[in-house]
Amino acid sequence: MRISEIFRSLQGEGRLTGTECAFVRACGCNLRCGYCDTLYASWSPEGVEMPVAEILERIEQLAIPGPQRHVVLTGGEPMLFDEMVSLSLALRNAGWHITVETSGTRYLPVACDLMSISPKLSNSTPVQSNDPRILARHEENRREPNVIERLIADCDYQFKFVVETPADCREVEEYLAARPQIDRRRAMLMPQGVDPAELEKIARWLEPYCAEHRLMFCPRKQIEWFGARRGT
């Protein structure tokens, strides 16, 4: 499995914000989001091939404190790689709490304690691309409702939607209305961007919107803490 990076940091998004975690970033993605901030794991993949045993060894070397140790399997898109199944099972057997961060477009029977699903709205379309094949592939792959149903049936879950404009909020409402099995209390709206001032500008109207509509607001605390850089 090709890995971009393995590092120790604080979870900056979602239910476990502030939790110290080991992060394993798989290299490769089936989408090409225009706002992607991990280009080295998607648009311009950089990584090295690692067997599962080496990944496990690298995770243990990070010395995450217990008694409940947390690991995040992320990407790119970690669910592209069959090796994630054996990796996740080994982590569970070793007592790790496992978060999987996914776009919800691919299914694998991974061991998982928290499935963190980020469905891609229309605002993810890579409008900056001049290649019609990239646009077509992204639009074809970003919606997989059957996968979403399987993921939330198998695991505890949260949803994180990237929002830039009020129109994105309306799209989120349409998404949730079409899937009443999703608990709104697990749906989070997150500002789009990697600049603290830009995130704050969106948060000023998005946070009260979430409160009014019984949704969770999800800040990107890692940007506030560390800035937009790798290994954070």
Location of structure tokens 């982590």 = 91
**What pLDDT is recorded for position 232?**
73
Cβ neighbours around 70 below 10 Å, total: 20
Q: What single letter denotes the amino acid at residue 142?
A: R
pLDDT at 229: 84
Q: What amino acid occupies position 42? A: S
Pairing relationship of beta strands 48-49 and 20-26 according to DSSP bridges: unpaired
Helix (H, G, I), strand (E, B) or coil at 28: coil
98 forms bridges with which residues in the sheet? 71
Q: Which residues contact 78 (CB under 8 A, 6 or more apart)?
A: 24, 26, 84, 100, 101, 102
DSSP 39: G
Enumerate the H helices of 80-144 as residue ranges. Answer: 83-93, 132-141
- pLDDT the model gives residue 221: 96
Token pair in block for residue 229: 């850089």
Question: How confident is the prediction along the chain (232 residues), in pLDDT tens digits per residue?
Answer: 999 999 999 999 999 999 999 999 999 999 999 999 999 999 999 999 999 999 999 999 999 998 999 999 999 999 999 999 999 999 999 999 999 999 999 999 999 999 999 999 999 999 989 999 999 999 999 999 999 999 999 999 999 999 999 999 999 999 999 999 999 999 999 999 999 999 999 999 999 999 999 999 999 999 999 988 888 7
Tell me the sheet residues that pair with 157. Answer: 115
| Residue 49: exposure state from Cβ atoms within 10 A (0-12, 13-18, ≥19) | exposed
CATH superfamily of this structure's domain 2-226:
Aldolase class I (3.20.20.70)
Please report the pLDDT score of residue 66 as a whole number.
87
